[in-house]
Amino acid sequence: MDHAAGLKGRSLSNIDSEPTAVEIRSAVDRIVASPGFRYSPQLVSFLRYVVESTLTGKAHALKSYSIGIEALGRREDFDPHVDPIVRVEAGRLRRALARYYAGDGAGRPIIIEIPLGHYVPIFNYRKYPYLAVRLAAILSQRYVKLIDAWTRPRQDQRAARVERPAGSNAS
């Protein structure tokens, strides 16, 4: 399986830009079909909801209440201050995404992250997708997280994207 196929037709200069909505939706489809997500409908619903909300320009509305109602099926009287389900599921989702990118998604060219303290996902191209998959195949499993971290965009680049207004495509 060619994990870097998602980058066909892209020049290296485009790697510094953000993935397109089509590429992001395709990445979500691969993630939710993976073993870590396949049998967890709440994680799938949470991920799809926050990604779609962000892609359709509704990232500003991603709050505990809206996620609880729309993604997790809570009733209208849901109170996120009393019921921590959204925070709990956000933590589970972050861990599941980290496991995916350290395992089945090690060489995938697009990374979807949900930063701590936020529900708005960040979309990036992996810096070295080919290297990540080759190193993961060579080295033992305990080094995969290190490889994954090394092939992600720098923290300052991700932070700048979190602070950027919705709909902005500037890098």
Whether residue 97 lies inside any domain: the answer is: yes
Whether residue 126 lies inside any domain: the answer is: yes
Task: Say which residue the tokens 């500037």 belong to.
Answer: 170
pLDDT score recorded for residue 105: 87
Phi-psi category of residue 108: left, alpha or beta, with phi > 0 → left and psi -120 to 50 → alpha:
beta
Query: Which percentage of the chain shows pLDDT scores above 70?
Result: 65
Residue predicted with more confidence, 165 or 17: 17
13 has pLDDT over 90:
no
Whether residue 90 lies inside any domain: the answer is: yes
The number of domains in the chain is: 1
Whether residue 26 lies inside any domain: the answer is: yes
For CA atoms 47, 52, 53, 59, the dihedral sign is positive
Q: Which long-range contacts does 132-141 make (Cβ < 8 Å, 24+ apart)?
A: 132/106, 132/107, 133/3, 133/4, 133/106, 133/107, 134/107, 136/106, 136/107
Per DSSP, 4 falls in state G
Confirm if 7 and 20 have CB atoms less than 8 A apart: no
> Can you tell me the distance from the alpha carbon of 171 to that of 169, in angstroms, rounded to the nearest whole number?
6
pLDDT tens column, 19-71: 999 999 999 999 999 998 999 999 999 999 999 999 999 999 999 999 999 99
Whether residue 168 lies inside any domain: the answer is: no
pTM above 0.85, yes or no: no
Whether residue 151 lies inside any domain: the answer is: yes
pLDDT tens column, 113-151: 999 999 999 998 887 655 555 555 555 555 555 555 555
Per DSSP, 7 falls in state G
Whether residue 169 lies inside any domain: the answer is: no
> Can you tell me the distance from the alpha carbon of 122 to that of 115, in angstroms, rounded to the nearest whole number?
8
In order of 18, 96, 113, the CA distances from 31 in angstroms are 18, 10, 12
Q: Which domain holds residue 95?
A: 3-163
Whether residue 105 lies inside any domain: the answer is: yes
